[in-house]
Structure 1
């Protein structure tokens, strides 16, 4: 469209007009060329913006400008006698939503019969976001994302519509630009433990991606949407589309961001005086002499009062830089970006550094043939602070160490050197323990598209996803692990994972006879994976100086462990969507998968689905009677998806190396480690979904509601045989799990007048998970947690049991505290208990569940549930001229955490001279009637006889002000090389309203292990971050 200012203007009229100029840009700061500007009420007085988004026009002083551009919402702007008018245009949501990304193609949103959510990532650029996972928190109904740790680059628990597996992962399939990537990788093993390896929490598979490279994310939730991915769709699918060049001039953009992060709060611990009083009281309660005399309470507390949390935390400064080149014409498009980020953790000497390069190119070779290339290279370096709970060794957890070290202990000796008198001195661990993982990620695919005719096209897609990680660790002397060697312990391990994909697609799209529309795709897909790994741990080094750089100097060299795994997936799949008169739609999907993981006879499975939709608002009877409703669409779907995610070789017996001593020789041999099960079949998830999409006030208010039921059968379960058995693992199919829930999403264009625009968004989700059956096993237990240092807790605290949710907390119910000896003597729960004589006033009163007069394992019961009753999110975005403001909140209600940090520093037990939480000291029993919640102080090292009390389970409901951001766009005059500058400031994790006593209520220490959910065990919390940055458009 080309509009020209009329050249025939009378002199009289000209005197009443003024010349105005300005720049028109999008909300993300991009200038917009070719925008049409027309004086309202005229047909010949207008202009268009140039390649720099600038315009000039002569108008009357009180004129109104009508501004329009394809893909953006129309605006009317009153001149009000202004000479300079800069306009910010917002995307037309209704236009953008017309076509949506689905598996193996796109489809008109009006024809979609399933349940999905779309999110554009523009808002995330102002936030402190390292991974795409973080950007999604609280944004989408039915999606629960929890932090496994606050360390940058670490993994996140990512569930869509509940947990479907008991011993496997519930993480969704990640698809980037049509290519499924490897997202279920565990940690790179290194260190001590079985097979020479221990785990740290796995890195986030999305942390290698640059969030600014992403155009949009589509979350597929129901089986009608995910069945096209067959055996990998049971946990939902995340479709990520990266950016491409945009129409208009070539563009160069530089952006940066600088962050300052710090610990939101410290946990109050005992001061030196209170600690000494605590030790004295514990000794007196047990009939012992005081540990400290009165004069020591004054003299020592005045000199020594160390806050160990100050020794491990600091204010962390981070930065990110990015340079982008992009452009598009009628033949080609390109998007090339290079980025660098260094994100320092609030835990000292922990950080995540990433270098990234993306090259997205497309070219129309002829009018029938086009080629597209999307490639990404990431080099990441992660220094992991020793707060990991996955090691199984309490002493390696520096967060717990900072809480448990008492205030009388000193981090440094009189010479200013780290004091190695105390094993696992937190200052030593943060400074001298080295745990570094280097990662290389390559994601690349090529699409060759040939248009056979205007309706039919063929696509050949080839893709490679390569991940390599090298982990090196060194524990020096002075640490629990280093001294157990002795002489230090060093490890080196690597993992090389690659997968190759080849897809052949035939796509058909046709509208015919005005009322009929058909969209169909048929695909043959083949994907192959390979994993190679090795690890070595050596001990007893002559010096700590060389760390892990000189493993050969160890006098106790370790053996090398190596392994190779291969697997493949071959698939034939198709989808057909037929729509009649924009009112009735039916979608049929099917995928036939063959997986090499399973044994012959069970390798192939069909995964079908059907979806129906009725656009009621397009019916004549509706349009004539309910005009205030602009959209009413009803949806229903059913489908089957699967999971074959068992260990490679689970259908066959697995042999492992074993060493025996014969005489003076160590002789290697082979033993069977894993029992074969050739009868393993696919884990299957059936899902029913009914939903509605509503639009009111001409779609200013939209609402989507979905009800669903997921039923997972033939669960793939690793029974984990006891140590007395000849085998350590046995995979089998047994049991059933259900998830029922509701998802609600709403968006409201609340205010839009002139250049002011306010939009609101909200979401709500509720899911009920239940174990229906687990066969003859009756109950499955989670893992134990840690041992050593007098705080043994090797027993599991989670169960999967019919009638209860997965990962229900399992322990002992309490009934207060014994206030006097009479209560002990008359308690029927101790009538037959042989430990009754050891019970004292101030001890915990346990509930005898079965009434047999004694407290034992038979009295364990469900004491909590980590799953929330419901979760929710809210966001608001306001723009006025060149100013923008964004606010987001999210939270959950009814979720519980088992705070095992309190097991270590909250049980009123002086084991190993540990310090105590101030709340445990204030709430303790110290005489009849003083407390009926927490027990007395004691020197008893058995920690409540290894009974996990219900009061360790806490309500972790929370509401978090996740982000507030302010932005402003400066447009520079013509002739300046810089066209526009966008500046912003933001705050992340600004405030959390919660009753939880720990650092952070939104943590999940054990990641994507469904049977170990909801644990806080010295877990590093999310940092509070303030950011500032600029984006310069050349």
Structure 2
């Protein structure tokens, strides 16, 4: 009996211990932590899965994860580009993981709208660039660093002054009258500022969403593409101390090349030829034929650029922080121009318990631009080499200088000595702030609240003392303008992520958001300012002697709002089949009642072919994915209140009095709605030869419907101006190819990578308002590119022996030596131009034709990086083939008065009896005012070029001495920017940069020559701060 009891007790204890063991093993605990790469950077989107179960999660934007798992279970952590790890939980509540890189795998994660995604799972068109790669091209503005780096993204310089922004176009121009600028997202929040407000050293990565299946999640805001900017978060080499990074460079800037102006002997011969041809100019009292003044040598100066950035970042238990300050200063080769920027940035993220985390991010900048409006280049190029900048006693001339018997200019050398007599300054303060809070409701389901608050203030002041340059009125005057914009955004997001059986990955997100922007502008102008000390700062001190005016058209206030709802579903099966579907609806306050809301669907799919069993034996192909996407976006491309009618004031005679009254200036449009685009995108992603060659090929087509067009009204309407309406359609089609190759990898210490991209876009206007076939005033023609050039076609110069032909086409005023253009009319049986017989004239506006477009045949960029042990050499370049370049230097009337003999003149091969060239006409001539007839035809050049934009040689130090000093990284480098230009007709003739440097914009038209009108949206090479060649020396150090 006793033995039996002992046996039963033994059996009982066995089952008890077994039960307790199973209970202990089955106990579920919460495990959280952070997943990082070997450098300490958090890994976004890493998969954390309990093997053999449907239990899994993914790391967030800060690399954090949280999962409920068996206390004695296992976790498998994986991410594409890194070796997976299997980890025993062993009852731990926090497990931090460092994944080692696996160079045999794709190593990219991209930031998409409201989330992140592994590169291999992406189904839309997204291009990415790391911040350190972008900063190989140092600049004050990230848009300059991106030039030629990403296929389908074109950067056009609209001003070369320090601090200027660039025009960004993603896959061409869509809208005719609205903005074509992309949406910028800064750390997940829409960014209302300028890219010049962002310090490039704060940027960790940049992702560009190009097709509608990717941008539809941002609705009407994403119609022109989306640029996603992610800044640095907390990092640490060890949990007990932070990381300190200091980056600095200093450089000098020199003029790329002088403008090709005539010297004294060339100018004298040219003016004498003009006088012989009928010019009435006489030599000015300030001109002396014995002089040979090079105004460019006297005025252009060496400039400098300097940048300093200090950042401190670290991690806390469950969080991280990053704080940075920056200073940037750049002067110009033109006196009086400078750009300064002070920046301050901070971020803090913290996990509290298992279920809650929050974070705050702030980016602030204060910028000062001096000399941004008043440009002395006109005087530099217009003053002749026969003028003397100095008085007889050697002092600088400060009065008026007569360069002929009627034209007066000021000496540009006096600018630096003006002191308080001249001020042109724009100050910008910008503050961009975001706050988020996130609650983990259950595993995989979380709620996030994003709050954004942005503020931007522009303060512009201009003062010109009496008898100073840029002052046509001769009396002291000043302008003050203040512009303020505030913007707030609230986004409510619900996320659900689930991994089932390690094959099914589901990601859902729903959002409801509200946004409001409020802006105001005030402007005042004053004359007869009594003291230079007052300048533009306090017009209230003028007293009775001063005159202050307020232009009602420059006093502006508006408010606009946007409500949105969105849902997106992403599904992936076995990393082979991917599907993404998005639906968003927007309601805009600026559109008419009944037309305020629009819904945007988008869907895209991907197929990882190399994941299929039938591809296992194809060893040379590492990765191949096909993508297809469809989506719709829209553009609310109008200003607030534009749907309403407008009244303006004007004066009229009433008896013997002049009284003010109101008139209808704009008609209301109660059906004004959305301009929307439909896009199809097809893509192929591939990696070959053991990851030595990778690339992407894409084809897209985008049709924009109900284009907002300013329709001209007939005089019988009684309303001047235009009427905004939805009546137009445009189309963009294009192809893009990006290639990256590793030529050498760890070959006796050598590494060599190369990159290349090429893209071509073709846009076309399919229809205009009211069935019009063209709108010549705006340069729009159905069936032609949006930026078509419509003008006469120069076919040569009328030569001696062609006198009868000249009369036939030009009439009695025609002469040899003048521009010959192409006649587009018909001829009679005798070979005579019919238009002359019917209208009494031959060559007229009917002979204007489409000459081409500024859109190139194709363009792109290239780069290469060579490394040997601690040394590295990088070369970056861009190129363009085809298209037209417009040079106002060759036809502008404002400064040079081309071929008139009056002012300074660029070197040209002009026609004389002894030099019967077909390049440029004879000086002066009997034609329109000061310019030869058809002068605008002289401004068109082939826009092709190949340009090396950046060469950098660097050295990374290493050794035990660095560890002893606590230095983690130390690199020094030297850079030269804009060193070489090839294959450019314009550069060969002028020595000038073939890239545009004058503002295009989307406004009214501007005259390039007296007999040609060019839409001002077309950027030109003009009278702006000239291009420079820069030499930089830099330092990167990390502690």
The 8 Å contact of residues 381 and 896 in structure 2, kept in 1 or not, is answered as no
Shift of 1:666: 8.2
1:653 matched to 2:640? The reply is: no
Which residue of structure 1 aligns with residue 338 of structure 2?
351
For 1:912 and 1:931, the matched residues in 2 are separated by 19
Deviates more, 1:842-851 or 1:149-158: 842-851
Q: What SS does structure 2 have at the residue aligned with 1:557?
A: strand
* TM-score for the superposition, normalised by structure 1: 0.82
Which residue of structure 2 aligns with residue 899 of structure 1?
887
Give the alignment partner of residue 455 of structure 2, picking from 449, 462, 466.
Answer: 466
Which residue of structure 1 aligns with residue 550 of structure 2?
559
Give the alignment partner of residue 912 of structure 2, picking from 901, 906, 926.
Answer: 926
Shift of 1:929: 6.1
Which residue of structure 2 aligns with residue 171 of structure 1?
181
1:592 matched to 2:585? The reply is: yes
1:877-956 matches, within 5 Å, as 877-904=865-892, 909=898, 911=900, 913-918=902-907, 920=908, 923-927=909-913, 930-938=916-924, 940=926, 942-944=929-931, 947-956=934-943
Q: What are the superposed Cα offsets for residues 281-321 of structure 1, whole Å, 9 maximum, x if unpaired?
A: 11112287x9579xx99x9444x222222344211012111
Q: What are the superposed Cα offsets for residues 78-131 of structure 1, whole Å, 9 maximum, x if unpaired?
A: xxxxxxxxxxx9976777745321011112222211111000120344543111
Matched residues, number = 899
1:148-297 matches, within 5 Å, as 148-183=158-193, 205-249=194-238, 250-286=242-278
Shift of 1:171: 1.1
For 2:489 and 2:699, the matched residues in 1 are separated by 35
Shift of 1:865: 1.2
The 8 Å contact of residues 121 and 216 in structure 1, kept in 2 or not, is answered as yes
1:680 matched to 2:672? The reply is: yes
Higher RCO (CA-CA < 8 Å; seq separation 6+)? 1
For 1:247 and 1:357, the matched residues in 2 are separated by 20
1:134-145 matches, within 5 Å, as 134-145=144-155
Q: What are the superposed Cα offsets for residues 589-625 of structure 1, whole Å, 9 maximum, x if unpaired?
A: 111000001011000001111101111111111223x
Which residue of structure 2 aligns with residue 843 of structure 1?
818
For 2:100 and 2:332, the matched residues in 1 are separated by 36
1:34-45 matches, within 5 Å, as none
The 8 Å contact of residues 771 and 800 in structure 1, kept in 2 or not, is answered as yes
Shift of 1:949: 4.2
1:1028 matched to 2:1033? The reply is: yes
Q: What SS does structure 1 have at the residue aligned with 2:547?
A: coil
Q: What SS does structure 2 have at the residue aligned with 1:548?
A: coil
Which residue of structure 1 aligns with residue 156 of structure 2?
146
Give the alignment partner of residue 859 of structure 1, picking from 847, 851, 869.
Answer: 847
Shift of 1:481: 5.9
Give the alignment partner of residue 799 of structure 1, picking from 779, 798, 813.
Answer: 779
Shift of 1:890: 0.9
Which residue of structure 2 aligns with residue 53 of structure 1?
none
Q: What are the superposed Cα offsets for residues 162-198 of structure 1, whole Å, 9 maximum, x if unpaired?
A: 1001122211111111111225xxxxxxxxxxxxxxx
The 1:603/1:570 distance shift into structure 2, 3 A limit, reads: same
Shift of 1:157: 1.2
The 8 Å contact of residues 275 and 901 in structure 2, kept in 1 or not, is answered as no
For 1:152 and 1:168, the matched residues in 2 are separated by 27
For 2:301 and 2:169, the matched residues in 1 are separated by 32
Which residue of structure 1 aligns with residue 410 of structure 2?
425
Shift of 1:32: 10
Which residue of structure 1 aligns with residue 760 of structure 2?
766
The 8 Å contact of residues 811 and 948 in structure 1, kept in 2 or not, is answered as no
The 8 Å contact of residues 128 and 1025 in structure 1, kept in 2 or not, is answered as no
The 8 Å contact of residues 911 and 918 in structure 2, kept in 1 or not, is answered as yes
Shift of 1:377: 0.8
1:461-860 matches, within 5 Å, as 461-478=450-467, 482-484=471-473, 486-542=474-530, 544=532, 546-552=534-540, 553=542, 555-559=546-550, 561=552, 562-624=555-617, 626-658=618-650, 670-719=662-711, 726-753=719-746, 755-776=749-770, 778=772, 799-820=779-800, 822-827=801-806, 830=809, 836-851=811-826, 852-853=835-836, 854-860=842-848
Which residue of structure 2 aligns with residue 341 of structure 1?
328
Shift of 1:513: 3.2
The 8 Å contact of residues 255 and 323 in structure 1, kept in 2 or not, is answered as yes
The 8 Å contact of residues 30 and 1033 in structure 1, kept in 2 or not, is answered as no
For 2:528 and 2:703, the matched residues in 1 are separated by 53
Which residue of structure 1 aligns with residue 88 of structure 2?
none
Give the alignment partner of residue 377 of structure 2, picking from 399, 402, 418.
Answer: 399
The 8 Å contact of residues 843 and 936 in structure 1, kept in 2 or not, is answered as yes
Pairwise CA RMSD: 3.1
Shift of 1:428: 6.2
For 1:253 and 1:287, the matched residues in 2 are separated by 65
The 1:945/1:291 distance shift into structure 2, 3 A limit, reads: closer
Q: Decide which structure has the larger Cα Rg and report it.
A: 2
The 8 Å contact of residues 174 and 239 in structure 1, kept in 2 or not, is answered as yes
The 8 Å contact of residues 955 and 971 in structure 2, kept in 1 or not, is answered as yes
Shift of 1:824: 3.1
Structure 1 unaligned residues grouped into runs of 5+: 1-27, 34-68, 75-88, 184-204, 387-395, 783-795
The 8 Å contact of residues 159 and 999 in structure 2, kept in 1 or not, is answered as no
For 2:476 and 2:799, the matched residues in 1 are separated by 49
